[in-house]
Structure formats: structure tokens, C-alpha cells
Amino acid sequence: MKQDYRLIVIGSGISGLFVALESRKLGPVLVLTKGSIEDCNTAWAQGGIAAAVGPLDSPEQHLADTIAAGAGLVDVAAARVLCYEAPSRIRDLVEYGVAFDSPGGELALGREAAHSRARVLHAGGDQTGAAIETTLAAAAATPGITILDHTIATGISTAGGAVTGVEAVDLAAGEGLSFEAPAVVIATGGAGWLYSHTTNPDVATGDGIALAYEAGAELADLEFYQFHPTAFRGDGAPPFLISEAVRGEGAVLRNAAGEAFMAGYHPLGDLAPRDIVARAIVAEMRAAGSENVFLDCTVARGVDLAARFPAIFAFCQGQGIDMRSAPIPVAPAAHYLMGGVRTDTFGRTTVPGLFAVGEAACTGVHGANRLASNSLMETVVFGKRTVECLGEAPRGAERDPRAIVDGVDGGPAPGHGTLQALMWDFAGIERSHEGLERALGTATGWANSPARPTREWHELREMGTLARLMLKAALLRTESRGAHYRSDYPEQDDRHWARRQVFRRGN
Ligand code: SIN
């Protein structure tokens, strides 16, 4: 059965819902989501959304911080768009009904690592993502937007190189579906589930990125995966982030011996850039032979922790920890993919009619290391601009003439229980030639898993495709920069590597 739409959006987080809402005036919009509507990274985002709206702040200062965090690889034009358009997009979200915390009528602005100003707006304390997701989901329940949940996209259809629609599977019925539209937006978020330890929900398997690649789009910056320093670490505990905003309020990391250690690693101490904090924690864990370090919140004086961080407080209580009096066991976990489907600043990929927004996309705005809370903001800034060009005749972004044209290798499909462990061990916080090469051989097999109409099999194939490219990108970049740390090439090498890597599929 074929059905026609003006636009198909794959993914139901902030990127997908915002684009659907903003574009519904152009014609019928279909949103496909493989879980239920609120199964997305957005709903788990705690810290907030960055915008230079404070009296002592400016977009230029926000831009400077974004560039500094990105370790020499930020696309400055894209970052300028992000930082200058951010305040207007906050106004849009407020118009949709997002209630940012404003005690006494003044917007509360939190502080996170590597920001030189307090500029992180939040809602419900540490429930910013959930507040945005709930608000946009309610708004999207409107004529003109059809949302199909438990429906997984399995292919982007093209004709003459341009997008014509999406192939999907209704997971409940096990039935194949075909939808036609002249424009498709990939808004499927990130890929934390490629790793054994992550702050992401289980839908974050990178499928949209792999689908775009298979449809001919270019992917960029795949070697840059951000590991959040402080995920809760406890036996049998589910993935759970302990927001950087907790350190922004004064909490301090301590090693197994109870010593505060970050001052010994970076002048910004506990609020140093994430890659530095994550590696410092790994070094402390290794030295002590421990599985975690501790986040001591008892030193966050004058902060009502239960009120400021209600979700974290409740989670810790559920794990038997009162964060007001006891330290929280934490360790790094996979958090955010800086790379993704290469787009221009209007969400255009290199395939006409195919767009990407949010974590699945790569405008180059984050470079080698994302500044905290720029991720929610990029979704609405570049989502708005994507909608601006949906009315035009579809045309793709320019291809990168230096793209690495990548063949599809052969190889058997092994069982999938070890993919995450493989990525964690060999493409995690520290990488080396030997480990990456070993992992690459195995990931290639996953990419060749047989297609079957179940979510698990589809995810396995797409995770294999993305893992293979991430490993290749990490193997090729023989230096350390931002979130990509090679133990065999520990220095940044600007002479050879002040450039981005782009992949395009060969025949
Ligand atoms: C956090 O709350 O620590 C995460 C925010 C982000 O990743 O931008």
C-alpha cells in the first residue's frame, strides 16, 4: 500500500517533532518512529539548552566557547548560525509552551563545562528534555501530522538520485510499508547503543545515519564520539546520566581514596572539557583498579539538590543513595556522536530531497568535541532552517571532493551480543591501531547481517554499517584531537589533521 506525503520525518525527538510542526503548513507530514513517540534521547536530556540570553552574555561569546571546545575542527560559519539564532529559537519553544525555569520571573541559567558564562536554560530542574518532548508531542497531535509509532524505516527510496519516499516495516504486524514524499528528514538521533556503557535510551542505534549513507549521502566526523564523564555506575543499574550541571552547581569528583583530582588535570578543574574529565576519570579508575569514581555533591553548598535536580535525586534514592549526604558512583559512558550525515546549514545532505537534523546530522558545528547543551539547540536552529528550504525544488548540498569513497566489504555476520563490548573496548575513550583494526574486521560482518523484518535485525545491520565507518575513521585519524584519543598517537597533529573526514558509499 502506497501513501503520499509532503514530508516524511524519521524520528520523534525534538528534531523530528519541531520540523514536523514547523512544516505542516506546506502539506501533510508523516512522522515515523520505531518505538513509541517519547522513546528518544530528547526525553532523557537533563542539563538544558544553551543560548546567549543572559545580560552578561553574547552570541559572540557563545561562539568563542563553541569553537574552543571543538579542538580546531568547528565549522565556524555553522557555529555562528547556531549561536546567533539560538535566542530566537528559545522564543519559538516558549511559544510552543515550553516552560523554562524562571524563579521570580527571571530565566534561570545553569553553568556547564567549558562555557565561560551561565547560559544553559532548563525546565523542571533537570528534566529539560522531557519538558520539551512532552510539549512538542502534545502540539504535534494535530491535523496535518500523522505519527506512526512502532514503525521502523528500513530504506530511503530514490529515483535519478533524488528522494522519492521511505520503505518501512510496521513492527506490530510485521508488514512492509511504502510511503512517497519529495522530502525526507532524518531525525533519528545518535548511536549510544553501539557501546556497552551509554547515557542513551535503546532506540539510539544510529539507523537513520546508516540509511542515509546507503541512500548515497555523505557522512562526516565519525571518529568523534563524546563520552560523558559522569553516568551512574552501579551493578545492574540502567543507563542514567548525572548531569554536568551538578558539577556546575559545585559538586566535585573524587577518586577511590576520596581525593578530589580534577585540579591536577586541568585549570578548569571539575568543569574542564568533557574529553579531559572523561580521560582523567579513566586514569584514576585504572590507578585504583576501581570500576568508578565518585561525585561528591555534599560540597554544593546553598543548593537544594532535591529541588534543582529532582530526576537525579529520585534516581539516586531508588539506588539507595541520598546525594545530599553520600557520594554518587559515576564513570564515563557513550553520550553523543559529533559526526553524522553531512549537511549544510539548511539541513541539506548531498542527496536532493534528503535532509538531516539534530544528532543524526553533522553540520560541523561541534568539531571534535561538543560544547555542553549545544545539542538541543542545534536541533531547533537547523530544524527551522531546514523547513525554510523545503518549499524549494529539492537540491542537495555540494559533495565534498575529498570524500573517501568506501566500498562495501564482504564477511560473515557473527552473533550480535558482543558489538557493544567491541566498540567500548576498542573504539571508546582510548583507541589504538591494533584494537581498531581488530574491531573493524568484526564490525564488517555485522554490516552484512541478513535483512529480516524485525527491529533487532534491522538495527544490527545498521549498527554494523555505522560501527564499521566509525572504526575506519578512527583508524585513519593518526592523531589525538577532542574526543578522539589515540594512545599510539597522543598528540594533536595540526600539520596533517586540521581537516575533517567524509565518507561516501561506492558501488
Ligand atoms: C548534561 O546534562 O550533562 C548533558 C548535557 C549535554 O550533553 O549537552
DSSP 389-408: TTTSPP-PPPPPTTPEEE--
Instruction: Give yes or no for a contact between 114 and 273, defined as CB atoms under 8 angstroms apart.
Output: yes
DSSP state for residue 332 in the 8-state scheme:
E
Residue 381 in contact with ligand 1 by CB distance below 6 A: no
Q: What is the pLDDT of residue 179?
A: 97
0.85 cut: is pTM over it? yes
Q: Is 126 helix (H, G, I), strand (E, B) or coil?
A: coil
Q: Could you state, in order of their start, the residue ranges of all structural domains in the chain?
A: 2-188+338-390, 232-332, 407-505
C-alpha span between 305 and 316 (Å, rounded): 11
Low-confidence stretches of the chain (pLDDT < 50) are 410, 412
- As to burial, measured by CB atoms within 10 angstroms (0-12 exposed, 13-18 middle, 19+ buried), residue 290 is middle
* Contact yes or no for 394/223 (Cβ under 8 A): no
What is the Cα Rg of the chain in Å? Answer: 21
Closest of 259, 364, 246 to residue 297, by C-alpha = 246
- pLDDT for the residue 412: 47
Known active-site residue 274: yes
- Of these residues, 24, 233, 274, 308, which one is catalytic? 274
Is the CATH number 3.30.70.270 carried by domain 2-188+338-390? no
| Atom 2, ligand 1: residue with shortest CA distance | 47
Q: Is the CB of 343 under 6 A from ligand 1?
A: no
Chain centroid, CA 221 distance in Å:
13
Distances (CA, A) of 147 to 142, 321, 366, 391: 10, 39, 30, 21
Distance 494 CA to ligand 1 centre (A): 28
Measured in Å, residue 394 CA sits from the centre of ligand 1 at: 34
Q: Which residue has the cell 506525503?
A: 5
Q: Do 2-188+338-390 and 232-332 share a fold?
A: no
CA 182 – CA 173 distance, rounded (Å): 27
CATH architecture of 232-332: Alpha-Beta Complex (3.90)
Residue 441 has a CB neighbour count (10 Å cut-off) of 12
CATH entry 2.60.40.1170 includes domain 407-505: no
Verify whether ligand 1 is closer than 6 Å to residue 69 (CB atom): no
Whole-number Å distance between alpha carbons of 101 and 62: 21
Mutate to test the pocket of ligand 1, among 232, 240, 241, 336 (most ligand atoms within 8 A of CB): 241
Q: Which helix (H) or strand (E) holds 157?
A: strand 151-159
Mutate to test the pocket of ligand 1, among 112, 242, 370 (most ligand atoms within 8 A of CB): 112
**With a 6 A CB cut-off, is 230 part of the ligand 1 pocket?**
no
246 lines ligand 1 (CB under 6 A): no
Which atom of ligand 1 is nearest the CA belonging to 335? 7
3-class secondary structure per residue, 457-477: HHHHHHHHHHHHHHHHHHHHC
Residues 8-38 have pLDDT tens digits of 999 999 999 999 999 999 999 999 999 988 8
Mutation choice for ligand 1 from 14, 115, 228, CB with most ligand atoms inside 8 A? 228
Q: Is the CB of 245 under 6 A from ligand 1?
A: yes
* DSSP designation for 371: P
Is 110's C-beta closer than 6 angstroms to any atom of ligand 1? no
